[in-house]
Amino acid sequence: MSARSADLTEKWYEYVYRDRAADVRGFVAAYPDERALSVSCERFGHDYRFVRPLLADPDGTLRAGKAALRRFLPDDADRDLQDVYLRVTDLPAESEVALADLRADHLNRLRTIRGVVAEVGSLRPKVVRAGFRCAKCETVTRQAAQPDREFRAHAKCPRCRSVGYLSFAPAASEYVDAQEVSLRDPDGSDTVSVLLEHDLTSEVSVGEEVRLVGVPRASRADGSTVGDAWVESVSMECLTGTDR
């Protein structure tokens, strides 16, 4: 772990977990039945050394948050909590971007986006922790967390260290519900696809306005340098029927 990662991990513990230790222990004890923990950005105060990395490098900062959660695991735990969802809310105003204004500069950064639900897809299973079977020693392992759309495979068997014998074992893997929704700009016709997972699925209907905290991504078709934008959800709030 780098010095910066260690510093962010300490800040997560200090700002978010320490004064609610009993609740966090309860959450960790309920894992994996419970996977989502709500965290208000207001808990970080005005410490730019935390908020700036959160907005600019959400992947690394959220990994640090999950690393800090491991302090609450029992000593004999064999899980790394990398498939936990830290539902960060209440980002500073500077994070908000209109859907129509999404550009390449916004990719892989934490943003707040408002939109109207234009389309809701069906629920589908998403692998969050992949199991692999070794054809050589017959060992089944569950070591590969799958935090995004790109499937991550193991090359080497952790038991016999053989390379090239591992295959995906669906029955030994863990899944959550996933759902794609299309958001439309409230003031225009621009749309973007949003991937919802776990507790965020089945929470909105067509026509409802939402405030989404998420990470804009780009998926690239084979052979092309031009990708399609989509948003990986971090948290979501329905604004319809509220005073916003």
Which pLDDT tens digit goes with each residue over 144-186? 777 777 788 777 888 888 888 889 999 989 999 999 999 999 9
Measured at the CA of 231, the angle between CA 62 and CA 31, to 5 degrees, comes to: 40
Beta bridge partners of 31: none
| Average pLDDT over all residues of the chain | 90
Sequence-ordered strand ranges (E) for 91-158: 111-120, 124-134, 140-145
Nearest to 139 by CA among 121, 124, 161: 161
Q: Classify residue 122 by its DSSP letter.
A: P
- The pLDDT assigned to 47 comes to 82
> 225-244 pLDDT, tens per residue?
888 899 999 999 999 876 55
Structural domain span for residue 10: 3-89
Assigned domain for 244 exists: no
Question: If you average pLDDT over residues 90-97, what whole number do you get?
Answer: 94
- Which of 18-32, 117-131, 150-164, 194-208 comes out lowest in average pLDDT? 150-164
47, 29: one domain: yes
Residue 18 has pLDDT above 90, yes or no: yes
147, 164: one domain: yes
All residues at 6 or more sequence positions from 190 whose CB lies less than 8 Å from its CB, including other chains: 99, 100, 102, 184
What is the rounded end-to-end Cα distance, in angstroms, of the chain? 40
For the entire predicted model, the pTM comes to 0.90
Q: Classify residue 123 by its DSSP letter.
A: P
- The pLDDT assigned to 3 comes to 52
* DSSP line for 60-84: HHHHHHHHHHGGGS-TT-----TT-
Beta bridge partners of 112: 96, 213
- The pLDDT assigned to 243 comes to 59
142, 70: one domain: no
83, 139: one domain: no
131, 200: one domain: no
d(CA 115, CA 238): 10
> 211-229 pLDDT, tens per residue?
999 999 998 777 788 888 9
